[in-house]
Protein backbone atom coordinates (compact mmCIF):
# COMPACT_ATOMS: atom_id res chain seq x y z
CA UNK A 1 0.00 0.00 0.00
CA UNK A 2 1.33 3.40 -0.95
CA UNK A 3 0.65 6.80 0.62
CA UNK A 4 -1.76 9.34 -0.80
CA UNK A 5 1.18 11.58 -1.77
CA UNK A 6 3.02 8.81 -3.55
CA UNK A 7 -0.14 7.75 -5.36
CA UNK A 8 -0.77 11.29 -6.54
CA UNK A 9 2.83 11.67 -7.66
CA UNK A 10 2.76 8.40 -9.58
CA UNK A 11 -0.54 9.28 -11.24
CA UNK A 12 0.41 12.82 -12.22
CA UNK A 13 3.77 11.67 -13.62
CA UNK A 14 1.78 9.78 -16.29
CA UNK A 15 -0.54 12.67 -17.19
CA UNK A 16 0.29 15.38 -19.72
CA UNK A 17 -1.71 18.44 -20.81
CA UNK A 18 -3.81 17.76 -23.89
CA UNK A 19 -3.41 19.49 -27.25
CA UNK A 20 -4.43 23.00 -28.23
CA UNK A 21 -7.69 23.91 -29.96
CA UNK A 22 -9.19 27.19 -31.08
CA UNK A 23 -12.54 27.96 -29.48
CA UNK A 24 -14.89 30.92 -29.99
CA UNK A 25 -14.26 33.57 -27.35
CA UNK A 26 -17.65 33.07 -25.68
CA UNK A 27 -16.90 29.38 -25.20
CA UNK A 28 -13.46 29.87 -23.72
CA UNK A 29 -14.70 30.27 -20.13
CA UNK A 30 -12.93 27.87 -17.77
CA UNK A 31 -10.34 26.78 -20.33
CA UNK A 32 -6.61 27.30 -19.93
CA UNK A 33 -4.84 29.59 -22.41
CA UNK A 34 -2.46 27.64 -24.64
CA UNK A 35 -0.52 30.70 -25.82
CA UNK A 36 0.37 34.03 -24.28
CA UNK A 37 -1.70 37.01 -25.26
CA UNK A 38 0.27 40.00 -26.51
CA UNK A 39 -1.49 43.30 -27.17
CA UNK A 40 -1.40 44.14 -30.89
CA UNK A 41 -2.74 47.63 -30.23
CA UNK A 42 -2.67 50.24 -27.52
CA UNK A 43 -5.59 50.17 -25.12
CA UNK A 44 -7.25 52.61 -25.14
CA UNK A 45 -6.37 52.98 -28.83
CA UNK A 46 -6.63 56.81 -28.73
CA UNK A 47 -6.52 59.55 -26.08
CA UNK A 48 -10.08 60.08 -24.91
CA UNK A 49 -12.14 61.97 -22.40
CA UNK A 50 -12.88 60.52 -18.96
CA UNK A 51 -15.81 62.94 -18.46
CA UNK A 52 -18.63 64.73 -20.18
CA UNK A 53 -17.44 68.34 -20.45
CA UNK A 54 -15.38 70.65 -22.61
CA UNK A 55 -12.04 70.06 -24.32
CA UNK A 56 -9.80 73.11 -24.05
CA UNK A 57 -6.24 74.38 -23.73
CA UNK A 58 -5.44 74.18 -20.02
CA UNK A 59 -3.86 77.64 -20.03
CA UNK A 60 -7.22 79.07 -21.13
CA UNK A 61 -8.70 77.94 -17.78
CA UNK A 62 -6.64 80.45 -15.78
CA UNK A 63 -8.84 83.26 -14.49
CA UNK A 64 -7.80 86.85 -15.11
CA UNK A 65 -8.80 89.62 -12.71
CA UNK A 66 -11.02 87.29 -10.70
CA UNK A 67 -13.36 86.67 -13.65
CA UNK A 68 -13.99 83.13 -14.94
CA UNK A 69 -12.64 82.85 -18.50
CA UNK A 70 -15.25 82.71 -21.27
CA UNK A 71 -14.43 80.43 -24.21
CA UNK A 72 -16.21 80.22 -27.56
CA UNK A 73 -17.67 76.75 -28.19
CA UNK A 74 -16.84 75.71 -31.76
CA UNK A 75 -18.60 72.33 -31.84
CA UNK A 76 -18.79 68.99 -30.15
CA UNK A 77 -17.45 65.45 -30.35
CA UNK A 78 -19.45 62.42 -29.28
CA UNK A 79 -18.20 58.94 -28.39
CA UNK A 80 -17.59 57.00 -31.59
CA UNK A 81 -16.75 60.07 -33.71
CA UNK A 82 -13.70 62.17 -34.44
CA UNK A 83 -13.59 65.98 -34.25
CA UNK A 84 -13.50 67.67 -37.66
CA UNK A 85 -11.42 70.62 -36.45
CA UNK A 86 -8.91 71.50 -33.75
CA UNK A 87 -9.31 73.40 -30.50
CA UNK A 88 -7.45 76.71 -30.65
CA UNK A 89 -6.70 79.39 -28.02
CA UNK A 90 -9.84 80.98 -26.60
CA UNK A 91 -12.13 78.19 -27.81
CA UNK A 92 -13.49 74.94 -26.42
CA UNK A 93 -15.35 71.93 -27.79
CA UNK A 94 -18.10 69.90 -26.10
CA UNK A 95 -16.91 66.35 -25.49
CA UNK A 96 -18.53 63.15 -24.24
CA UNK A 97 -16.96 60.39 -22.12
CA UNK A 98 -14.96 58.07 -24.38
CA UNK A 99 -14.78 60.54 -27.29
CA UNK A 100 -11.34 61.15 -28.82
CA UNK A 101 -9.72 64.34 -27.54
CA UNK A 102 -9.66 66.82 -30.46
CA UNK A 103 -6.28 68.03 -31.70
CA UNK A 104 -5.07 71.17 -29.94
CA UNK A 105 -6.81 70.46 -26.62
CA UNK A 106 -4.64 69.29 -23.74
CA UNK A 107 -7.34 68.91 -21.09
CA UNK A 108 -11.02 68.35 -20.43
CA UNK A 109 -13.05 70.14 -17.78
CA UNK A 110 -16.13 68.35 -16.54
CA UNK A 111 -19.43 70.00 -17.29
CA UNK A 112 -20.16 70.51 -13.56
CA UNK A 113 -17.24 72.99 -13.37
CA UNK A 114 -18.55 75.15 -16.23
CA UNK A 115 -21.53 77.43 -16.79
CA UNK A 116 -23.47 77.95 -20.02
CA UNK A 117 -26.73 79.77 -20.75
CA UNK A 118 -28.14 76.64 -22.39
CA UNK A 119 -26.80 73.28 -23.59
CA UNK A 120 -26.32 74.58 -27.15
CA UNK A 121 -24.77 77.87 -26.06
CA UNK A 122 -21.90 79.28 -28.12
CA UNK A 123 -20.12 80.36 -24.95
CA UNK A 124 -18.93 78.55 -21.86
CA UNK A 125 -17.55 79.93 -18.61
CA UNK A 126 -14.74 77.93 -17.00
CA UNK A 127 -15.21 77.93 -13.21
CA UNK A 128 -12.02 76.18 -12.17
CA UNK A 129 -8.44 76.02 -13.38
CA UNK A 130 -7.41 72.66 -14.84
CA UNK A 131 -3.96 71.18 -15.34
CA UNK A 132 -2.65 69.74 -18.64
CA UNK A 133 -3.89 66.16 -19.07
CA UNK A 134 -6.89 66.75 -16.81
CA UNK A 135 -9.59 64.11 -17.50
CA UNK A 136 -7.67 62.72 -20.48
CA UNK A 137 -7.09 58.98 -20.67
CA UNK A 138 -3.94 58.65 -22.79
CA UNK A 139 -3.59 56.03 -25.53
CA UNK A 140 -1.99 52.87 -24.12
CA UNK A 141 -2.72 53.83 -20.51
CA UNK A 142 -4.15 50.35 -19.83
CA UNK A 143 -2.24 48.12 -22.27
CA UNK A 144 0.58 48.92 -24.62
CA UNK A 145 1.14 47.43 -28.02
CA UNK A 146 3.66 44.59 -27.65
CA UNK A 147 2.96 44.08 -23.96
CA UNK A 148 2.23 40.55 -22.67
CA UNK A 149 -1.19 40.78 -21.06
CA UNK A 150 -2.09 37.15 -20.27
CA UNK A 151 0.42 34.39 -19.64
CA UNK A 152 0.15 30.99 -21.24
CA UNK A 153 -1.48 28.70 -18.69
CA UNK A 154 -3.85 31.35 -17.33
CA UNK A 155 -7.34 30.17 -16.55
CA UNK A 156 -9.92 32.08 -18.55
CA UNK A 157 -12.58 33.69 -16.39
CA UNK A 158 -15.04 36.47 -17.19
CA UNK A 159 -12.40 39.17 -16.66
CA UNK A 160 -9.93 37.51 -19.00
CA UNK A 161 -12.73 37.20 -21.56
CA UNK A 162 -13.27 40.96 -21.31
CA UNK A 163 -9.58 41.56 -21.96
CA UNK A 164 -9.50 39.09 -24.88
CA UNK A 165 -12.53 40.84 -26.36
CA UNK A 166 -10.97 44.29 -26.10
CA UNK A 167 -7.85 42.95 -27.82
CA UNK A 168 -9.90 41.48 -30.65
CA UNK A 169 -9.43 37.75 -29.97
CA UNK A 170 -12.60 36.35 -31.55
CA UNK A 171 -11.20 32.84 -31.17
CA UNK A 172 -8.91 31.75 -28.39
CA UNK A 173 -6.17 29.09 -28.36
CA UNK A 174 -6.89 26.86 -25.36
CA UNK A 175 -6.07 23.40 -24.07
CA UNK A 176 -9.02 21.22 -25.03
CA UNK A 177 -11.24 19.74 -22.38
CA UNK A 178 -10.57 16.08 -21.53
CA UNK A 179 -13.24 13.54 -22.45
CA UNK A 180 -13.78 11.19 -19.55
CA UNK A 181 -15.49 7.80 -19.83
CA UNK A 182 -17.35 6.86 -16.65
CA UNK A 183 -18.04 3.21 -16.11
CA UNK A 184 -19.94 1.49 -13.32
CA UNK A 185 -19.39 -2.16 -12.48
CA UNK A 186 -21.35 -4.81 -10.65
CA UNK A 187 -24.20 -7.27 -11.20
CA UNK A 188 -26.07 -5.61 -8.34
CA UNK A 189 -26.09 -2.16 -9.94
CA UNK A 190 -29.21 -1.07 -11.85
CA UNK A 191 -30.10 2.26 -13.44
CA UNK A 192 -31.87 5.11 -11.67
CA UNK A 193 -35.17 4.66 -13.45
CA UNK A 194 -35.46 0.94 -12.64
CA UNK A 195 -37.51 -0.30 -9.68
CA UNK A 196 -35.47 -1.85 -6.89
CA UNK A 197 -35.40 -5.64 -6.79
CA UNK A 198 -34.02 -7.97 -4.16
CA UNK A 199 -30.27 -7.64 -3.95
CA UNK A 200 -30.06 -4.68 -6.30
CA UNK A 201 -29.02 -1.06 -5.72
CA UNK A 202 -29.22 1.93 -8.02
CA UNK A 203 -26.19 3.30 -9.79
CA UNK A 204 -25.38 6.38 -7.75
CA UNK A 205 -21.65 6.46 -8.52
CA UNK A 206 -21.86 7.03 -12.26
CA UNK A 207 -24.17 9.99 -11.84
CA UNK A 208 -22.17 11.45 -8.95
CA UNK A 209 -18.94 11.07 -10.93
CA UNK A 210 -20.48 12.47 -14.10
CA UNK A 211 -21.37 15.65 -12.22
CA UNK A 212 -18.00 15.82 -10.47
CA UNK A 213 -16.15 15.34 -13.78
CA UNK A 214 -18.16 18.12 -15.38
CA UNK A 215 -17.52 20.42 -12.46
CA UNK A 216 -13.80 19.68 -12.70
CA UNK A 217 -13.89 21.04 -16.26
CA UNK A 218 -14.03 17.87 -18.36
CA UNK A 219 -16.63 16.35 -20.68
CA UNK A 220 -18.15 13.23 -19.10
CA UNK A 221 -19.40 10.21 -21.05
CA UNK A 222 -21.44 7.90 -18.87
CA UNK A 223 -21.11 4.42 -20.37
CA UNK A 224 -23.48 2.52 -18.10
CA UNK A 225 -22.62 -0.49 -15.98
CA UNK A 226 -20.50 -3.48 -16.84
CA UNK A 227 -21.62 -6.85 -15.49
CA UNK A 228 -19.21 -8.78 -13.31
CA UNK A 229 -17.88 -10.78 -16.25
CA UNK A 230 -14.67 -10.33 -18.19
CA UNK A 231 -16.67 -10.22 -21.44
CA UNK A 232 -18.95 -7.41 -20.29
CA UNK A 233 -16.02 -5.38 -19.00
CA UNK A 234 -14.00 -5.91 -22.19
CA UNK A 235 -16.91 -4.68 -24.27
CA UNK A 236 -17.32 -1.52 -22.16
CA UNK A 237 -13.59 -0.83 -22.17
CA UNK A 238 -13.50 -1.00 -25.96
CA UNK A 239 -15.92 1.91 -25.99
CA UNK A 240 -14.16 3.70 -23.12
CA UNK A 241 -10.86 3.73 -25.00
CA UNK A 242 -12.14 6.52 -27.24
CA UNK A 243 -11.70 8.94 -24.34
CA UNK A 244 -8.75 10.72 -22.70
CA UNK A 245 -9.36 9.16 -19.29
CA UNK A 246 -11.38 6.22 -17.99
CA UNK A 247 -12.88 6.36 -14.52
CA UNK A 248 -14.47 3.20 -13.17
CA UNK A 249 -16.14 2.56 -9.84
CA UNK A 250 -16.19 -0.77 -8.07
CA UNK A 251 -14.52 -4.00 -9.01
CA UNK A 252 -11.02 -3.13 -7.80
CA UNK A 253 -10.78 -4.76 -4.39
CA UNK A 254 -9.78 -8.34 -3.62
CA UNK A 255 -13.17 -10.05 -4.08
CA UNK A 256 -13.68 -12.78 -6.67
CA UNK A 257 -15.59 -10.43 -8.93
CA UNK A 258 -13.07 -7.61 -8.87
CA UNK A 259 -12.30 -7.73 -12.50
CA UNK A 260 -11.14 -4.23 -13.39
CA UNK A 261 -7.63 -5.15 -12.28
CA UNK A 262 -7.70 -8.29 -14.43
CA UNK A 263 -8.65 -6.32 -17.52
CA UNK A 264 -5.92 -3.79 -16.79
CA UNK A 265 -3.37 -6.60 -16.64
CA UNK A 266 -4.76 -8.14 -19.81
CA UNK A 267 -5.04 -4.97 -21.93
CA UNK A 268 -2.61 -2.56 -20.31
CA UNK A 269 -0.67 -2.00 -17.12
CA UNK A 270 -1.40 -1.58 -13.43
CA UNK A 271 0.70 1.07 -11.70
CA UNK A 272 -0.82 0.44 -8.23
CA UNK A 273 -4.12 -0.68 -6.81
CA UNK A 274 -4.15 0.18 -3.11
CA UNK A 275 -3.65 3.40 -1.18
CA UNK A 276 -3.15 3.76 2.55
CA UNK A 277 -6.25 5.83 3.15
CA UNK A 278 -9.86 5.73 4.11
CA UNK A 279 -12.36 5.99 2.72
CA UNK A 280 -11.05 4.46 -0.47
CA UNK A 281 -8.24 1.98 0.00
CA UNK A 282 -8.91 0.07 -3.25
CA UNK A 283 -7.95 2.71 -5.81
CA UNK A 284 -6.25 1.37 -8.93
CA UNK A 285 -4.28 3.34 -11.46
CA UNK A 286 -2.82 2.22 -14.74
CA UNK A 287 -3.49 2.22 -18.46
CA UNK A 288 -5.75 0.43 -20.90
CA UNK A 289 -3.77 0.68 -24.10
CA UNK A 290 -2.55 4.27 -23.91
CA UNK A 291 -5.55 5.60 -22.02
CA UNK A 292 -5.06 6.26 -18.30
CA UNK A 293 -7.52 4.46 -16.07
CA UNK A 294 -8.45 5.48 -12.56
CA UNK A 295 -10.29 2.65 -10.85
CA UNK A 296 -12.21 4.11 -7.92
CA UNK A 297 -13.82 2.05 -5.16
CA UNK A 298 -17.47 1.03 -5.37
CA UNK A 299 -18.64 2.50 -2.11
CA UNK A 300 -20.17 5.84 -3.06
CA UNK A 301 -18.41 7.93 -0.41
CA UNK A 302 -15.09 6.35 -1.29
CA UNK A 303 -15.70 7.06 -4.96
CA UNK A 304 -16.58 10.67 -4.21
CA UNK A 305 -13.59 11.31 -1.95
CA UNK A 306 -11.04 9.54 -4.13
CA UNK A 307 -12.31 11.42 -7.18
CA UNK A 308 -11.62 14.67 -5.31
CA UNK A 309 -8.14 13.52 -4.30
CA UNK A 310 -7.00 11.91 -7.56
CA UNK A 311 -9.55 12.37 -10.37
CA UNK A 312 -9.87 16.11 -10.17
CA UNK A 313 -6.10 16.79 -10.23
CA UNK A 314 -5.76 14.48 -13.26
CA UNK A 315 -8.46 16.38 -15.13
CA UNK A 316 -6.92 19.70 -14.18
CA UNK A 317 -3.47 18.64 -15.36
CA UNK A 318 -4.88 17.36 -18.66
CA UNK A 319 -6.73 20.67 -19.03
CA UNK A 320 -3.46 22.59 -18.77
CA UNK A 321 -3.76 23.88 -15.21
CA UNK A 322 -0.61 24.14 -13.13
CA UNK A 323 -2.42 24.51 -9.81
CA UNK A 324 -4.02 21.14 -9.34
CA UNK A 325 -4.90 20.72 -5.69
CA UNK A 326 -7.57 22.09 -3.39
CA UNK A 327 -6.28 24.51 -0.75
CA UNK A 328 -5.63 23.26 2.79
CA UNK A 329 -6.22 25.30 5.93
CA UNK A 330 -5.91 24.71 9.64
CA UNK A 331 -9.20 24.13 11.44
CA UNK A 332 -10.41 23.53 14.98
CA UNK A 333 -12.25 20.19 14.94
CA UNK A 334 -15.09 21.04 17.33
CA UNK A 335 -16.44 17.54 17.82
CA UNK A 336 -13.15 15.67 17.26
CA UNK A 337 -12.93 12.41 15.27
CA UNK A 338 -14.11 9.53 17.41
CA UNK A 339 -12.59 6.51 15.65
CA UNK A 340 -8.85 6.03 15.37
CA UNK A 341 -7.62 4.71 12.06
CA UNK A 342 -4.21 3.38 11.10
CA UNK A 343 -4.78 4.63 7.57
CA UNK A 344 -4.92 8.31 6.57
CA UNK A 345 -8.50 9.36 7.18
CA UNK A 346 -10.40 11.97 5.16
CA UNK A 347 -13.32 13.03 7.32
CA UNK A 348 -16.24 14.85 5.75
CA UNK A 349 -16.87 18.09 7.58
CA UNK A 350 -18.53 21.46 7.47
CA UNK A 351 -16.02 24.26 7.90
CA UNK A 352 -17.12 27.69 9.03
CA UNK A 353 -15.34 30.93 9.83
CA UNK A 354 -16.16 32.22 13.29
CA UNK A 355 -14.41 34.60 15.71
CA UNK A 356 -11.36 34.81 13.47
CA UNK A 357 -10.84 31.05 13.05
CA UNK A 358 -12.03 28.14 10.96
CA UNK A 359 -14.10 25.58 12.83
CA UNK A 360 -14.89 22.12 11.44
CA UNK A 361 -17.86 20.04 12.43
CA UNK A 362 -17.86 16.47 11.13
CA UNK A 363 -20.95 15.27 9.29
CA UNK A 364 -21.83 12.22 11.36
CA UNK A 365 -21.34 8.51 10.59
CA UNK A 366 -18.21 8.33 8.44
CA UNK A 367 -18.84 4.87 7.00
CA UNK A 368 -17.85 4.67 3.33
CA UNK A 369 -21.40 3.60 2.43
CA UNK A 370 -23.05 6.52 4.26
CA UNK A 371 -23.83 8.91 1.43
CA UNK A 372 -25.53 11.36 3.75
CA UNK A 373 -22.11 12.09 5.28
CA UNK A 374 -21.39 13.97 2.05
CA UNK A 375 -24.31 16.29 2.57
CA UNK A 376 -23.34 19.70 3.93
CA UNK A 377 -19.67 18.77 3.75
CA UNK A 378 -17.52 21.51 2.26
CA UNK A 379 -14.20 20.10 3.45
CA UNK A 380 -12.25 16.97 4.26
CA UNK A 381 -10.52 17.00 7.63
CA UNK A 382 -7.22 15.13 7.25
CA UNK A 383 -6.33 12.76 10.08
CA UNK A 384 -2.74 11.53 9.63
CA UNK A 385 -1.99 7.81 9.37
CA UNK A 386 -0.84 5.85 12.39
CA UNK A 387 -3.87 6.02 14.66
CA UNK A 388 -3.60 9.70 15.53
CA UNK A 389 -6.40 10.82 17.82
CA UNK A 390 -8.28 14.03 17.20
CA UNK A 391 -9.98 15.15 20.39
CA UNK A 392 -12.70 17.78 20.44
CA UNK A 393 -11.20 21.25 19.92
CA UNK A 394 -7.92 19.82 18.53
CA UNK A 395 -6.58 21.46 15.41
CA UNK A 396 -6.14 19.59 12.14
CA UNK A 397 -5.59 20.29 8.48
CA UNK A 398 -8.62 20.42 6.22
CA UNK A 399 -8.83 20.33 2.46
CA UNK A 400 -11.42 22.86 1.36
CA UNK A 401 -13.77 21.58 -1.34
CA UNK A 402 -15.88 24.69 -1.47
CA UNK A 403 -15.79 28.15 0.08
CA UNK A 404 -19.35 28.91 1.07
CA UNK A 405 -20.98 32.20 0.24
CA UNK A 406 -21.92 34.30 3.24
P1 LIG B 1 -16.99 -3.28 -5.13
O2 LIG B 1 -15.75 -2.46 -5.02
O3 LIG B 1 -17.36 -3.59 -6.53
O4 LIG B 1 -16.87 -4.50 -4.29
O5 LIG B 1 -18.15 -2.41 -4.51
C6 LIG B 1 -18.12 -1.97 -3.17
C7 LIG B 1 -19.51 -1.52 -2.73
O8 LIG B 1 -19.93 -0.44 -3.53
C9 LIG B 1 -20.58 -2.55 -2.87
O10 LIG B 1 -21.46 -2.47 -1.77
C11 LIG B 1 -21.28 -2.18 -4.15
O12 LIG B 1 -22.60 -2.62 -4.19
C13 LIG B 1 -21.20 -0.68 -4.11
N14 LIG B 1 -21.26 -0.13 -5.46
C15 LIG B 1 -20.50 -0.54 -6.50
N16 LIG B 1 -20.79 0.17 -7.61
C17 LIG B 1 -21.75 1.05 -7.25
C18 LIG B 1 -22.47 2.07 -7.97
N19 LIG B 1 -22.22 2.33 -9.26
N20 LIG B 1 -23.39 2.80 -7.29
C21 LIG B 1 -23.60 2.56 -5.97
N22 LIG B 1 -22.95 1.63 -5.26
C23 LIG B 1 -22.04 0.87 -5.88
MG1 LIG C 1 -18.49 -4.92 -7.50
Q: What is the pLDDT of residues 123-143, one digit of tens each?
A: 999 999 999 999 999 999 999
243 vs 366 pLDDT, higher one: 243
pLDDT of 247 above 70: yes
d(CA 319, CA 338) in angstroms, rounded, equals: 39
pLDDT of 314 above 80: yes
Kindly report the CA angle at 310 between 235 and 151, in degrees rounded to 5? 110
Q: Is the shortest distance between the CB of 189 and ligand 1 below 6 Å?
A: yes
| Mean pLDDT to the nearest integer, 144-151 | 98
95 vs 65 pLDDT, higher one: 95
DSSP string, 97-149: TTPBPPTT--EEEEGGGEE-SSTT-SEEEE-S---TTTTEE-TTSSB-TT-EE
Q: What is the pLDDT of residues 330-342, one digit of tens each?
A: 999 999 998 888 9
pLDDT of 185 above 80: yes
Ligand 1 atom 14 nearest Cα: 298
Q: Is the shortest distance between the CB of 298 and ligand 1 below 6 Å?
A: yes
pLDDT class for 252, splitting at 50, 70, 90?
Answer: confident
CA distances from 270 to 36, 55, 172 (A): 37, 73, 37
**Substitution site in 210, 226, 299, 307 for ligand 1 pocket (most atoms within 8 Å of beta carbon):** 299
Q: Please tell me the least confidently modeled range out of 200-204, 237-241, 385-389.
A: 385-389
pLDDT class for 253, splitting at 50, 70, 90?
Answer: confident
Q: What is the pLDDT of residues 356-372, one digit of tens each?
A: 999 999 998 999 999 99
Q: Is the shortest distance between the CB of 69 and ligand 1 below 6 Å?
A: no
Rounded to 5, what percent of the chain is helix, strand, coil? 20, 35, 45
User: 321 preceded by cis ω (within 30°)?
Assistant: no
Kindly report the CA angle at 324 between 323 and 329, in degrees rounded to 5? 85
pLDDT of 166 above 80: yes
Q: Is the shortest distance between the CB of 102 and ligand 1 below 6 Å?
A: no
State whether residue 301 is helix, strand or coil.
helix
The percentage of the chain sitting over the pLDDT mark of 70, rounded to a whole number, equals 100
Candidates 58, 23, 62; CA nearest to 133 is 58
| Mean pLDDT to the nearest integer, 193-210 | 97
pLDDT of 256 above 70: no
| Mean pLDDT to the nearest integer, 108-113 | 98
**Burial level of 159, CB count in 10 A (0-12/13-18/19+)?**
exposed
The ligand whose atoms approach the alpha carbon of 187 most closely is 2
Whole-number pLDDT of residue 257: 62
Candidates 61, 48, 60; CA nearest to 113 is 61
pLDDT of 162 above 70: yes
d(CA 45, CA 134) in angstroms, rounded, equals: 18
Evaluated on CA atoms 127, 132, 136, 142, the torsion sign reads: negative
CA distances from 68 to 57, 71, 105, 113, 132 (A): 15, 10, 19, 11, 18
pLDDT class for 254, splitting at 50, 70, 90?
Answer: confident
- State the number of CA atoms in the 13 A half-sphere of 213 facing the CB: 26
Phi/psi zone of residue 386: left (φ > 0), alpha (ψ -120 to 50 degrees), beta?
left
| Mean pLDDT to the nearest integer, 50-59 | 98
Whole-number pLDDT of residue 259: 85
pLDDT of 232 above 90: yes
pLDDT of 261 above 90: no
Q: What is the pLDDT of residues 299-313, one digit of tens each?
A: 999 999 999 999 999
Amino acid sequence: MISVEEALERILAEIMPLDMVQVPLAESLGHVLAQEVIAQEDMPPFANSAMDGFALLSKDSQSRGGQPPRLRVTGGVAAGYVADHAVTGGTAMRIMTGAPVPPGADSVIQVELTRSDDPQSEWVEILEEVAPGNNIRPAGEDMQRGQTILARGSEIGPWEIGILATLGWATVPVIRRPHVAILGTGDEVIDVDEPLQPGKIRNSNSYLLEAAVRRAGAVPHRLGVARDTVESLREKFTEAMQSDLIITSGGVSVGDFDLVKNIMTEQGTINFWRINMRPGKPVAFGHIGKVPLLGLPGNPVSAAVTFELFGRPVIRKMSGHTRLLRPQIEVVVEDGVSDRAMRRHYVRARVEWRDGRYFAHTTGNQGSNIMTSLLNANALVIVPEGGVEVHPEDTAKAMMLEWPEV
